[in-house]
Amino acid sequence: MIDFWLGALALTILLYVILDGFDLGVGMLFVLVPDETGRRHMLSAIAPVWDGNETWLVLNAMILFSAFPLVFATLFSAFYLPMLLMVAALIFRGVAFEFRHKSHRMRRVWDAGFVVGSFAASFIQGMAVGALVEGLPIANDHYIGGAFGWLSSFSLLCGIGLCLGYALLGAGWLTYKTAADVQALSFRLLPKLLAGVLTFLAIVFVLALRLHLEVMSRWFDRPILVLFPAIGLFACAVMAWAIARRKELVPFLCAAAIFAAALGTLAVSFYPYMIPFSIRAEDAAANHTSLAFLFWGAGVFVLPITVIYTLVVYFIFKGKIEIDGESY
């Protein structure tokens, strides 16, 4: 049961990062489009799916709360303030998304809210990941770092890096869903974003190894772990080729593969710890009865239904976006 819920948690995190990541990335790139037609084009590219993408964030919290309550309690003790700000940013972003279509005099205000909300949510998520990698101050399974114990130069760097990564996902999605000016802008941005993400990953990888020297022994003992970074590098090479050939869907798929490789590298580097190097999965898990009960509810019904719903929505709204009078 513990392994099942660890796998389910990894899956929901990956799907959230990729799916909500690209629409947050579109929100950050939104500021680069000067005309209203282009902005409506970008919004229409994510309009059918953006709110459903956030379902995976809810499932992340649900799995942590019910299957790994100790991790849930520790994370929310540490990140209470940034999580509140992230939720507020996501709410304000959603309100701005809908209101800017109906407003004329305040459209610039809502546009700014959409962009700022996208940046804030992305940056906070990156900071949280950076703080986890660096290590939270924990004693006797309790967080002792205070309101800002997660704040450091490393976590700030990771916040910037995730913004770059989400922007890369967003640009890849726009090359697939849009045409004309917005697609051309996305293809121009992709090489710069890819270079930025590669630079960030290289710096963070070196810094993380310096922070946790014991991780290096795992890499020497299990060379198979090199597979994940190798997949990421291969995806970067394929993306560079796709950009040069102007392949429309390939950049997004490659960006998703880069994120999958990065998350896989983190997972295998720190397993069996869920909070490095303080709390193990087996120590954080709920008792077997609770995990089994959760399996027959959420595991058998909620997760598969959410996956199916997501696939159906993306299938229905596949293809290019056409701008007309009824579009966002």
> 322 lies in a domain?
no
At 307, the pLDDT band (50, 70, 90 cuts) reads very high
> 131 lies in a domain?
yes
pLDDT digit string (tens) for 114-148?
A: 999 999 999 999 999 999 888 888 888 888 888 88
**Strands 273-275 and 142-143, how do they pair?**
unpaired
Mutual angle of helices 2-29 and 107-134, in 10-degree steps: 140
Residue 327 has pLDDT above 60, yes or no: no
Contacts of 235 (CB under 8 A, 6+ apart): 254, 255, 257, 258, 261
pLDDT digit string (tens) for 17-31?
A: 999 999 999 999 999
Q: Does this model's pTM top 0.95?
A: no
> 292 lies in a domain?
yes
b/e per residue 254-280 (b: at least 16 CB within 10 A): bbbbbbbbbbbbbbbbbeebbbbebbe
At 265, the pLDDT band (50, 70, 90 cuts) reads confident
Q: Which pairs from 252-255 meet CB under 8 Å and 24+ separation?
A: 252/22, 252/169, 252/172, 252/173, 252/175, 252/176, 253/172, 254/172, 255/22, 255/165, 255/168, 255/169, 255/172
> 90 lies in a domain?
yes
b/e per residue 288-315 (b: at least 16 CB within 10 A): eeebeebbeebbeeebeebeeebeeeee
Contacts of 220 (CB under 8 A, 6+ apart): none
At 328, the pLDDT band (50, 70, 90 cuts) reads very low
Distance (Å, whole) CA 71 – CA 142: 10
Q: What CATH number corresponds to the domain at position 242?
A: 1.20.1630
Residue with tokens 């986890």: 132
Distance (Å, whole) CA 120 – CA 81: 13
pLDDT digit string (tens) for 152-175?
A: 999 999 999 999 999 999 999 999
> 261 lies in a domain?
yes
> 69 lies in a domain?
yes
> 326 lies in a domain?
no
Q: Closest Cα to residue 96, out of 27, 48, 37, 46? A: 27
Q: Which range of residues forms the domain containing residue 218?
A: 2-316
Distance (Å, whole) CA 281 – CA 284: 5
Q: What is the mean pLDDT of the segment spanning 111-116?
A: 93
Q: What is the DSSP letter of 148?
A: T
| Percent share of the chain, pLDDT over 70 | 95
At 217, the pLDDT band (50, 70, 90 cuts) reads low
> How many domains does the chain contain in total?
1
> 325 lies in a domain?
no
Q: Residue 272, SS3?
A: coil
Residue 178 has pLDDT above 60, yes or no: yes
